Amino acid sequence: MRYLLLGLLVLAVVLAGCTGSGRSAACTDNTDCLSYQFCNKTTSSCETLPGYCDDDASCIERDPLMRCDIESSYRCVFQEGKCRSNANCEPWQVCDISNNCRASPGYCDNNGQCNPAFEYCNPNSHKCEPAPGYCIADTDCDSWEKCDVLSKRCYVLEGRCDLDGDCPVWQTCNLKTHICEPKKGFCINDGNCESWSKCDQASHKCVARQGFCGSDNECNDWQFCDSKKHICIPNHGRCGGDADCGTWQFCDRNNYCKPKLGYCDTSSDCVSGEICNTNTHLCQ
């Protein structure tokens, strides 16, 4: 019984066959075979279709420069970089006398074929082009840059930037627009300032326009700067003219509001025995 089972196992392996180089699978129809094979019904085995291959040997017999493309097509193809004519190479290549595909004039396949000072071989176009940061024309630079034809370097246009160091010390670089913009508290023109201020072109800072203020130190010592209106306003009891005082007062030379003759602010402004009526500002 043991020998019978062993014999049946061997027979099953032979009938099933196996795929691979130099081996064929058993079949009864083409559908039993791989896409590049057909079923030889005489031998009941899968064989390679004409024009196809399943190993390099069958291709080398045809041309020693070929191999079998078992990765996808199962057809004989030229070994990488090998050729018999230009048609066997990439569009940017020619086939040389040594049957090697090489770059056509005006094209490249490595950086060594380009000017080492400022070029590299672009792997997409297969042409020598300026390396990053280099140029031969303005079109090789970004829109905010220009090409220096002597140094072959791109440099930023005035007012444009790649980093803060490209701008004056009072400006910062907007990395989205590549435009130098004033830092907080600085300005380029009046448009960068509030309506009550203007841009001082010497300091590049916003300063109060005439008649306005930004802080108390821009006012007289008897005034303060109104933070909402940005105008100087007299401190309580101080004045710049009679209009800043009550109707019973006048503004003295020291910018204090004083009661007019016959009026009072406090009882001390009245004669002994009288008091100041704070409603009428008259001594009683």
Residues shown for the chain: 284
Range of the domain at 254: 248-283
**Structural contact between residues 219 and 231, judged by C-beta atoms closer than 8 angstroms:** no
- pLDDT confidence tier of residue 176, bands split at 50, 70 and 90: very high
Measure CA 147 to chain center: 21
Residue 174 has pLDDT above 50, yes or no: yes
Whether 262 maps to a domain, the answer reads yes
Whether 264 maps to a domain, the answer reads yes
38: left (phi over 0), alpha (psi -120 to 50) or beta: beta
Whether 121 maps to a domain, the answer reads no
CB atoms within 10 A of CB 271: 7
Structure tokens of 251?
């503004």
Whether 208 maps to a domain, the answer reads no
Q: Which are the contacts of 212, defined by CB distance < 8 A and separation ≥ 6?
A: 196, 197, 230, 231
CB atoms within 10 A of CB 232: 19
Structure tokens of 69?
């493309």
pTM: 0.45
Mean pLDDT within 270-283:
91
Whether 166 maps to a domain, the answer reads no
Q: Tell me how many domains the chain contains.
A: 1
Determine the pLDDT at residue 24: 67
More confident residue, 97 or 273: 97
Least reliable range by pLDDT among 2-16, 59-73, 210-224: 2-16
pLDDT tens-digit series, residues 114-147: 999 999 999 999 999 999 889 999 999 999 999 9
- pLDDT confidence tier of residue 22, bands split at 50, 70 and 90: very low
Structure tokens of 226?
């109104």
DSSP one-letter string for 231-257: -EEEPTTB-SSGGGS-TTEEE-TTSBE
Whether 142 maps to a domain, the answer reads no
